[in-house]
Structure 1
Amino acid sequence: MQFDIEHTWDSDPVNHDPIRITFSPGQGGLRMEASGPFFNDPAAPAGPPGHAFPELWNYEVESFFLDSTTENYLEVELCHGQHLILLLSGQQLPMVFNTKITGDRWTGEALIPWTYFPPNVNKMNSYAIHGSGENRIYEALYPIPKEELEEGQKPNHRLEYFKDFRLQNIMGEGWVQPESG
């Protein structure tokens, strides 16, 4: 299942090749791959590549997997070196993550264990972030529609704009989500 982030958080079209996020079956979890332009702005955090890093929401790509009945979600953040995976509670979790930069493009591949997902995931949204200061750009797979923007509104992760998402569409209709850990 593939998604392209083609709009800013407030529904303007992006001015570059879109960030692409692909979900596919993985051994014991969901495989998530992100690819797109390598902005390197801001530069990668000062942590070892392939390791979890706090405050990664300032970099590159994040996907949220929501159980809308409880509003519990799993947040997966991928950068061009580090990653972060959080439960709604803020608990940091380990994850297998590899990344590669080739010229002006980057790819990152993560394996998200099934035990990390909240039960009954039924909605999701993904975001891309790059740039610094006044050049900061916030992009959303499912942006806030122009007609619903409020004066002075800032980018945020509003759950009401998440869209329907079924893990069975990736894993097969007979697949049953394993128990959360």
Structure 2
Amino acid sequence: MTYEITTTWDSLPVNHDPVTFKMSPGDGGLKLEVFAPFWDSPAAPDGPPGKPFPHLWNYEVVEAMFLSDDSSFLKDNYLEVELCPHGQQLVLFLHGESQSFKQQLPLSFNATITGNKWYGVALLPWAYFPPNINKVNLYAIHGEGADRVYESLYPVPQKDLAPGQKANFHLLQYFQDFCLQSIMGKGWVQPECSDLWAGKC
């Protein structure tokens, strides 16, 4: 399954090659690959590659968010995964819009920069996913100050924008349908709620 980000957060077209996400079966989880332009802006985070880095969203980063809004469980559980071209990563568990209750979990992630492009590959363990994932959104951020750019696979429609509205990647109403079986196969069943989500499922 491949997705390309071709719009900014507010539904304008991007003016560069799109950030591409590829999802496929992995060993004990979902394999997530990223093919993206490398902007080198902002500078790299001051943290070791492969390790969690707090507030990674303030740097050059791509993000994947996997949401369960299935009413048979507690609604609005979602997994957020942030990946940086310099190799840092950040995993967050959220229950309710922007309400993180667990973060900086370990993650198998490697990134390689080649000229003005970068490639990253991560393995997202099934234990990190809340049960019954059925929505997704994908994002990319780069630049600094007034030149900061926020991009979204499923953006806020122009008709919904309020005067002065800023980018917000946690507007869950704009996430779109997503089916893990389309990646893993029709007979595949998502593992039950892991202990990491105890009390939230």
Category of TM-score, reference length = shorter chain: over 0.9
Alignment TM-score, normalising by the size of structure 1:
0.98
| Separation (CA, whole Å) in 1 of partners of 2:91 and 2:23 | 16
Q: Secondary structure at the match of 1:170?
A: helix
1:117-148 residue CA offsets vs partner (Å, 9 max, x unmatched): 00000000010000000100000000001111
Indicate the residue corresponding to 1:84 in structure 2.
Answer: 90
CA 94–180 in structure 1, closer or farther in 2 if over 3 Å, else same: farther
Q: Secondary structure at the match of 2:39?
A: coil
Indicate the residue corresponding to 2:143 in structure 1.
Answer: 131
C-alpha contact 1:10 1:144 (8 A) present in aligned 2: yes
Structure 1 position 115 matched with structure 2 position 127 = yes
C-alpha contact 1:114 1:180 (8 A) present in aligned 2: no
- Structure 1 segment 160-171 matched on structure 2, within 5 A: 160-171=173-184
| Mean CA deviation greater in 88-97 or 112-121 | 88-97
Q: Secondary structure at the match of 1:112?
A: strand
- Runs of 4+ residues deviating >6 angstroms: none
Alignment TM-score, normalising by the size of structure 2:
0.88
| Separation (CA, whole Å) in 2 of partners of 1:92 and 1:79 | 14
Q: Give, as a single letter, the amino acid of the residue that structure 2 aligns with 1:133.
A: G
| Separation (CA, whole Å) in 1 of partners of 2:122 and 2:173 | 26
1:9-58 residue CA offsets vs partner (Å, 9 max, x unmatched): 00000011000011100000000011111001011100011111111112
Q: Give, as a single letter, the amino acid of the residue that structure 2 aligns with 1:123.
A: K
1:84-132 residue CA offsets vs partner (Å, 9 max, x unmatched): 1111123321110011001110011000000110000000001000000
| Separation (CA, whole Å) in 2 of partners of 1:64 and 1:25 | 17
Indicate the residue corresponding to 1:56 in structure 2.
Answer: 56
Q: Give, as a single letter, the amino acid of the residue that structure 2 aligns with 1:8.
A: T
- Coordinate RMSD, CA, aligned: 0.8
Q: Give, as a single letter, the amino acid of the residue that structure 2 aligns with 1:79.
A: C
Q: Secondary structure at the match of 1:178?
A: coil
